[in-house]
């Protein structure tokens, strides 16, 4: 089956603020991603993720550390992100996207206290997640 391409195209909005890492630090980013993957694993799309959720959460954390202004951990450990290509083997439709976003939204609830996520950057990060997840959709429906 050929992958569907969202008509909106790749994300057009700005990436997350590079000031986030200086405020949160690496450990908090990794903890946030671990908590997010626990939610994903328990969700209706949990079957789409590898059994080793810890390893999967570390990949996301590595990506976010770099996006948030820290060192490029993802590139140094895994190579170029090429995220859409990496996700093509998985059937991602709008429903799966909504579940993924809700799991992230639940993780971000109280993230300023739990992870030290700077409140001034939460809205923009949520916007980034929305655009990013729209680009990962590869099946109509």
126 domain-assigned: yes
14 domain-assigned: no
The pTM for the full model equals 0.94
7 domain-assigned: no
Rounded to whole angstroms, how far apart are CA atoms 124 and 132?
Answer: 12
CATH number, position 125 = 1.10.490.10
13 domain-assigned: no
| 47 contact partners, CB below 8 Å, separation of at least 6 | none
97 domain-assigned: yes
C-alpha distances in Å from residue 99, one per residue of 95, 106, 125: 6, 10, 17
What is the pLDDT confidence band of residue 8, given thresholds at 50, 70 and 90?
confident
52 domain-assigned: yes
Average pLDDT over residues 75-103: 94
The number of domains in the chain is 1
65-81 pLDDT, tens digit per residue, is 999 999 999 999 999 99
Flag whether pLDDT at 10 surpasses 90.
no
State which H helix or E strand residue 126 sits in: helix 122-136
What is the pLDDT confidence band of residue 1, given thresholds at 50, 70 and 90?
low
| 8 contact partners, CB below 8 Å, separation of at least 6 | 134, 135
Sign of CA dihedral 130, 35, 73, 100: negative
2 domain-assigned: no
- pLDDT over 90 for what percent of the chain? 87
108 domain-assigned: yes
Task: Give the pLDDT of residue 141.
Answer: 74
Domain that holds residue 79: 20-136
Flag whether pLDDT at 6 surpasses 80.
yes
């Amino acid at each position: 089956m050929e992958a569907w391409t969202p008509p909106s195209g790749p994300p057009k909005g700005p990436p997350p603020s590079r000031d986030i890492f200086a405020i949160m630090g690496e450990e908090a980013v990794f903890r946030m991603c671990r908590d997010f993957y626990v939610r994903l694993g328990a969700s209706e799309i949990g079957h789409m993720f590898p059994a080793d959720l810890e390893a999967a959460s570390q990949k996301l954390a590595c990506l976010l550390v770099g996006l948030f202004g820290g060192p490029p951990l993802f590139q140094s450990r895994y190579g170029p992100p090429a995220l859409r290509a990496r996700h093509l083997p998985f059937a991602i439709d709008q429903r799966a996207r909504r579940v993924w976003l809700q799991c992230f939204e639940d993780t971000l609830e109280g993230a300023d206290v739990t992870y030290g996520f700077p409140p001034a950057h939460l809205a923009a990060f949520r916007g980034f997640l929305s655009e990013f997840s729209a680009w990962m959709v590869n099946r109509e429906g």
